[in-house]
């Protein structure tokens, strides 16, 4: 970037919103992946007008721009691979309106996911998408990654809730798509094309989301199994009996033990596989589901079923699940969370394949995930100072995704592609599909300045 471009941005938005010091730039060189590259400039955007001004200068000078929320993504999506500008949107954190009659919330993109959930829950409403980093992640980042979480099994993920977007495009123009209506078939659905676009098609400056009424009651169970196969086949058994839990998570023995030693969550450490299950609805529905789910778990050889008796006990169980990534970090200095998804009925095969890969490479691959969605996160835990161990990582990773694809799955359920899985995309999508995606990118961003080098 030239100094005259930096001067133009400072003149347009003010010096206090622009960071140029080496130490400041270093803070924006990484995210929750293993990649690193420094930007040339960081802009702390406070408004749509700030972003428009930055994009006008970037467009003229063909300077790369990477929008960034809390940088909790796990795939290198906010690492400014080609330098240029990182656009920090964390200051754009206002909830603009909770509309009780239309069941919508409109907010700026930098609102923290959990803050939005708490605000709507105070009104008796519910915003289900619950990525496990929701105490840190932003709504803009969630939209751009099409994030999901344990509640995806019953309630779906971000794309099921995004109704409208205001988006600044690569040339600084402002696009409005969708709105507060839950139905809209007027032309191509541009809102949904933007969901999951990893900051490569535009920068969201306002988001309108669908809400639903908050379920009246919920209860949590922990079920212990002597083998992982029984735990994973229980998932389809429950769904096959027309019960869709609000959360249905699977953890293997290593994960259970690492989590228990990190935070006491009441998990049975001697089990080979554990299911964490939450059911919700009216109090009578919940009681019925608890009985049925317990019976189905027993039929699949669960040897211990514990129903949380208090809200505190239930909360501790889910805090444990949310602490999974941190708990694994206590085991090895580097943890790479993989994100494979298969059709739900192929889950037992996928779990078996992960175990085979772990045995083949002689490394533990602690695995947990949103089993109800067929979405598992095997974690590659390694010490980068150990050359032998580190050399195995790319092979393990590729074998995990080859296994998922061979079972009719996908290379990402929710974490996205970023830098980490770009080389795997052609294995899943044909040249025809990729050509259409490249065409869409070229329409939105003909000079390839928005988050270049990522996704496709
Ligand atoms: C411990 C842990 C657990 C996690 N668990 C889950 C999980 O259960 N489910 C899940 O889906 N993910 C999970 N993640 C990944 C991560 O939290 C999500 O991808 C989240 O959506 C990222 O939000 P963010 O604000 O951190 O976005 P960032 O990481 O800052 O950005 C992510 C992407 O969004 C783009 N972006 C950010 N803001 C905007 C904007 N305003 N306009 C356009 N593009 C933008 C960026 O350019 C980038 O491509 C987890 C991460 C961690 C560290």
pLDDT digits (tens, 9 = 90+) for 241-260: 999 999 999 999 999 999 99
pLDDT band at 99 (very low <50, low <70, confident <90, very high): very high
Listed in order, strand segments (DSSP E) in 371-429 are 375-382
Same domain, 108 and 177: yes
Express each pLDDT in 110-160 by its tens digit: 999 999 999 999 999 999 999 999 999 999 999 999 999 999 999 999 999
Distance 112 CA to ligand 1 centre (A): 11
Q: Are residues 308 and 288 in the same domain?
A: yes
The total of other beta-carbon atoms located within 10 Å of residue 21's CB is: 9
What's residue 456's pLDDT? 84
Q: Report the nearest-CA residue for atom 52 of ligand 1.
A: 133
Q: Where is 334: in which H helix or E strand? A: strand 334-337
Dump pLDDT digits (tens) for 367-399.
999 999 999 999 999 999 999 999 999 999 999
Atom of ligand 1 nearest to the CA of 147: 11
What pLDDT does residue 357 have? 98
Cβ–Cβ contacts within 10 Å for residue 208, how many?
24
- Tell me the mean pLDDT in the region 92-106: 98
Count of helix runs (H) and strand runs (E) in the chain: 16, 19
Supply the CATH number for residue 278's domain.
Answer: 3.30.70.3450
Residues 275 and 289 in one domain: yes
Does residue 429 form part of some domain? no
pTM, two decimals, is 0.96
pLDDT at 203: 98
- Is pLDDT of 362 > 90? yes
77 lines ligand 1 (CB under 6 A): yes
Residue finishing a domain among 285, 308, 323:
323
What per-residue confidence (pLDDT) applies to 330?
Answer: 86
Q: How far is the CA of 302 from the centre of ligand 1 (A)?
A: 35
CB of residue 32 inside a 6 A radius of ligand 1: yes
Domain co-membership, 62 together with 124: no
Q: Which atom of ligand 1 is nearest to the CA of 109?
A: 41
Domains held by the chain: number: 3
Same domain, 199 and 226: no
- Assess whether pLDDT exceeds 90 at residue 217: yes
Q: Is the CB of 64 under 6 A from ligand 1?
A: no
Rounded to the nearest angstrom, the distance between the alpha carbon of 388 and the centre of ligand 1 is 31
Residue nearest ligand 1's atom 35 by CA: 199
Task: Evaluate whether residue 149 is within a structural domain.
Answer: yes
Does 337 map to a domain?
no
Question: Does residue 348 belong to any structural domain of this protein?
Answer: no
Mutate to test the pocket of ligand 1, among 141, 142, 166, 368 (most ligand atoms within 8 A of CB): 141
* Shared-domain flag, residues 129 and 239: no
With a 6 Å cutoff on the Cβ, whether 420 touches ligand 1 is no
**pLDDT for the residue 455:** 85
- Check if 145 has its Cβ closer than 6 Å to any atom of ligand 1: yes
Domain boundary among 88, 115, 149: 88
4 C-alpha vs ligand 1 centroid, how far in Å?
A: 32
Position 188 pLDDT exceeds 90: yes
Question: For ligand 1, is residue 364 a contact (CB within 6 Å)?
Answer: no
Residue nearest to atom 16 of ligand 1 (CA): 73
Q: For the residues 1-12, what does the mean pLDDT come to?
A: 96
435 lies in some domain? no
- Neighbouring C-beta atoms of residue 112, cutoff 10 Å: 20
Over residues 305-336, the pLDDT tens digits come to: 999 999 999 999 999 999 999 999 988 999 99
Q: What is the number of other CB atoms lying within 10 angstroms of the CB of residue 60? A: 12
Structure confidence at residue 192 (pLDDT): 98
Pairing of strands 85-88, 65-68: parallel
Q: What ligand 1 atom has the least distance to the C-alpha of 199? A: 44
- Shared-domain flag, residues 222 and 202: no
The answer to whether residues 196 and 226 belong to one domain is no
Q: Whose CA is closest to atom 37 on ligand 1?
A: 141
Percent of the chain at pLDDT exceeding 90: 98
- Residue 250 and residue 204 share a domain: no
Please check whether residues 298 and 267 belong to one and the same domain: yes
Listed residues 307, 323, 339: the one ending a domain = 323
Give the CATH number, domain containing residue 175. Answer: 3.30.465.10
Q: Give distance in angstroms: CA of 335 to centre of ligand 1.
A: 17
User: Which of 348, 365, 152 minimizes the C-alpha distance to 254?
Assistant: 365
Domain holding 54: CATH number? 3.30.43.10
Dist. CA 178 → ligand 1 center (Å): 22
Pair 5, 40: CB distance under 8 Å = no
Nearest CA to ligand 1 atom 5: 132
Same domain, residue pair 177 and 257:
no
Expressed as residue numbers, the domain containing 254 is 215-323
346 within a domain of the structure (yes/no): no
Task: Answer whether residue 189 is part of any domain.
Answer: yes
For residue range 416-451, list pLDDT tens digits in order: 999 999 999 999 999 999 999 999 999 999 999 999
Rounded CA separation 419/401 (Å) = 15
Task: Kindly state if the Cβ of 297 falls inside 6 Å of ligand 1.
Answer: no
Q: How far is the CA of 147 from the centre of ligand 1 (A)?
A: 7
| Mean of pLDDT values over 49-58 | 98
Residue 338 falls inside a structural domain: no
The candidate with the shortest Cα–Cα distance to 126, out of 190, 205, 218, 204, is 218
- Ligand 1 pocket, residue 109 CB under 6 Å: yes
């Amino acid at each position: 970037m030239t100094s005259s471009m930096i001067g133009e941005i400072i003149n347009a938005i003010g010096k206090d919103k622009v960071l140029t010091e080496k130490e400041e730039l270093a803070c924006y060189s990484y995210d929750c992946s293993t990649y690193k590259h420094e930007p040339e400039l960081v802009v702390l955007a406070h408004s749509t007008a700030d972003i428009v001004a930055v994009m006008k200068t970037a467009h003229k000078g063909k300077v790369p721009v990477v929008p960034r929320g809390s940088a909790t993504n796990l795939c290198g999506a906010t690492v400014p691979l080609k330098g240029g500008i990182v656009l920090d949107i964390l200051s754009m954190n206002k909830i603009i309106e909770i509309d009780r009659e239309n069941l919508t919330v409109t907010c700026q993109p930098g609102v923290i996911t959990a803050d939005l959930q708490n605000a709507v829950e105070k009104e008796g409403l519910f915003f289900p998408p619950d990525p496990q980093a929701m105490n840190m992640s932003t709504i803009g980042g969630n939209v751009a990654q099409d994030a999901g979480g344990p509640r995806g099994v019953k309630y779906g993920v971000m794309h099921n809730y995004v109704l409208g977007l205001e988006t600044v495009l690569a040339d600084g123009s402002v696009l409005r798509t969708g709105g507060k209506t839950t139905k809209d078939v007027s032309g191509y659905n541009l809102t949904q094309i933007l969901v999951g676009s990893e900051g490569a098609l535009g920068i969201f400056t306002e988001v309108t989301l669908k809400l639903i009424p908050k379920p009246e009651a919920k209860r949590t169970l922990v079920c212990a199994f002597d083998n992982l196969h029984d735990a994973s086949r229980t998932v389809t058994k429950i769904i096959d009996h027309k019960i869709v839990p609000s959360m249905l998570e699977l953890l293997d023995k290593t994960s259970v033990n690492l989590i228990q030693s990190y935070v006491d969550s009441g998990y049975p450490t001697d089990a080979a596989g554990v299911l964490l299950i939450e059911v919700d609805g009216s109090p009578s529905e919940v009681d019925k589901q608890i009985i049925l789910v317990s019976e189905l778990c027993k039929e699949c050889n669960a040897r211990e079923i514990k129903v949380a008796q208090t809200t505190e006990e239930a909360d501790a169980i889910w805090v444990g699940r949310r602490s999974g990534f941190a708990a694994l970090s206590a085991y090895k200095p580097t943890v790479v969370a993989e994100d494979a998804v298969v059709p739900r009925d192929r889950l037992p095969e996928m779990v078996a394949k992960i175990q085979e890969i772990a045995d083949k490479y002689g490394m533990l691959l602690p695995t947990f995930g949103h089993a109800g969605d067929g979405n598992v996160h095997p974690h590659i835990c390694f010490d980068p100072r150990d050359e032998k161990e580190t050399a195995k990582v790319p092979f393990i990773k590729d074998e995990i995704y080859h296994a998922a694809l061979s079972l009719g799955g996908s290379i990402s359920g929710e974490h996205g592609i970023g830098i980490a899985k770009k080389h795997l995309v052609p294995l899943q999508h044909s040249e025809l599909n990729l050509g259409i995606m490249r065409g869409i990118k070229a329409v939105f961003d003909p000079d390839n300045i928005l988050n270049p080098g990522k996704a496709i």
